[in-house]
Chain A
Amino acid sequence: MLVDPVVLHEWHPLSALDEVAPGRLHRTLLLGQAISYSRDLDGGPVVWVSELDPSGLVGFAAGAEIDPTTVTDALPTRVKFGYLWTTLGRPDHEIFDIPECDETDRRILNGGSLMVSVSAPRAVENFLDMGHFPYVHTGLLGIEPRTEVVEYTVETTDAQVLAKGCKFYQPVAAASAAGGQVTDYTYRVPHPYCVMLYKSVHADPSRMDVIALFNQPMTEERIRAHNFLAMVDDVSTDNTLRHFQQLIFGQDKTILESQFPKRLPLDPRAETPIRADKSAIHYRRWLSSKGLTYGVIPAA
């Protein structure tokens, strides 16, 4: 499968930066391409296509001690939100912003990276979906019989899909939640494979937690899903926050790996949407309008 220009000339996440050990070799896949990365002794990231390993590194396995300064054909990199990003193309734009990350009292956290056997758009669509809460995250993000998805609005621009006014009853909305509540959600898709949400959890109604899913397209049908947290929570430990997020995402993983086809079908007649799927319908149209083909089954 050829990588389409939209995905090629885009920034993609590889790893939380704090999981890249300086002077050690890391291997992964990006868009079907074997990729190596490391950090030099000053902490600066180095990313390169594995086929272009410096001669001294050929055949080295992940974890080996290396000198990243010997790499000559390095790929462009960015460090943002605590993650290492790279590209195989020539993006004409920078990585999207999450302004809340600049708030000094936010807990900015790498919530864990999990490999999932599914396309990135399927993972994005699941993240946008509230209707599954009572069935997949039973007793946490939803519970029967409170299953209704009330009407919400979706705005699409060239830059993003934004779903506003979403509400759902949740027994345990977050690690810090004391009891059941109707949680307000805003969803935002600022990147074809990245999605984030704002959700009301704590006592201060003017603040919203931010949770994001940065999907690294290893291939069309396999991802590493990087869970990013920017929380307003001065009680829970880092591990409590991570465990909660991984518990939730682990429940999603079972569903995601049972979806067929693994690529997201963009033909409106491929699957059966309902009103609750409004954000997904907009997301599919938005991908179609960009002409994106990697990780989807384009409409005929």
Chain B
Amino acid sequence: MNWRTEWRPLALIALVFSALYFLPAGLLPDWGAAGEALKLAQWYAREHVLTCLIPAFLIAGAIAVFVSKASVMRYLGAGAGKAVAYSVAAVSGSILAVCSCTVLPLFAGIYRMGAGLGPACAFLYSGPAINVLAIILTARVLGAQLGVARAVGAVVFSVVIGLAMHLIFRREEQAKAAAQAALPQPETARPLWQTALYFAAMVAVLVFVNWADPGAGAAQFWAAMFSYKWLLTAIAAAALGIILLLWFGLKWWKILLIAGHTVMLLYVIGTSPYLAFVAAELIFVVALLRSGGELREWLRESWTLTRQIMPLLFIGVLAAGLLLGQPGGRGLIPPEWIATCVGGNGLGANLFAAVVGALMYFATLTEVPILEGLLANGMGQGPALALLLAGPALSLPNMLVIAGVLGWKKTGVFVALVVTMATISGLIYGSIIG
């Protein structure tokens, strides 16, 4: 990180965040829809940024640095077996598409130099939807059910779409580009199981710290998990510390410093576990900043993603609040309109959501606050999933790029397949959830 250029965006993000976080809700001006937008932004700042978004950005940054992309790309090359190519294309978006702008070059590469049209289309459909940041925020804000449905729906239907594209156009197997794919050199710094444990520990911290109160009447197991959430978070964090110490070269005194501060805050000063967690998180980020090599690289990637996505998400939250209101509030768009267009779980509502999603451009993650507003205003669960599936995969601007690669005929068929599949998934999910 180059401090001379990076301190401005960092200071700006920190300033806007603290203003929203610390301003008492009663002091927020009551400006009708604009007030709703501020309240929604405050809710995001207080509920989602510290425990969900920051850990999620760290995980996404870690994927960019520590997961060998070359080892994944081997399975998408020209010589890869068909079954393998389709399955890898369907799930590899979570590793390869951390930044949404990498999706299109990869898609073009798989099509022209790699496994061909089918796997390329499967990747294009699932890639943006199973991006880790998108899944984490969907599950956190819109509920675990919709988060899981989004991931599963994207993976399953991407294979269906890929196979359909392959079958429809099997006669015109295009001439492969002369260029041979220059696969990046695999960089193996440590065995796979160590990297896997490292990610497992990080995901465990994220999951436990965000464990929601299941409410009265929930099954005993979920309630018990909730009452032990901070203990479980601490155990996962300790495991992460040991992993970083043993295999990633984080200095032992830095880990002791974090652990010591946490214990002191909890047992000497007696703060809430939440405050202790936030403090530990901040010290951890500083510890990474003061480290060298991979660890610093990890922080740099996480910061690049944060700087890129946070402003867009902030604008998305404000727009969602302005147009749709915070949950229970009222924005500029009358709720009756939304109930008419995408209420219930009928065919019309699902199709409408899928078509709108396919045409509209959503900046990374902004689909989440927008959908939250729509759901609060009477959108059905089925259409919500349809929008989530068709939304990030397609937009008018990226259709132009896709057409440049595939030609208009194939692009048209792909768009039609995406809309159809998103509609069908919405119908199925809506009829299950009700």
A associates with B: no
Chain A contact residues, CB within 8 Å of chain B? none
Binding site for A on B (CB under 8 A): none
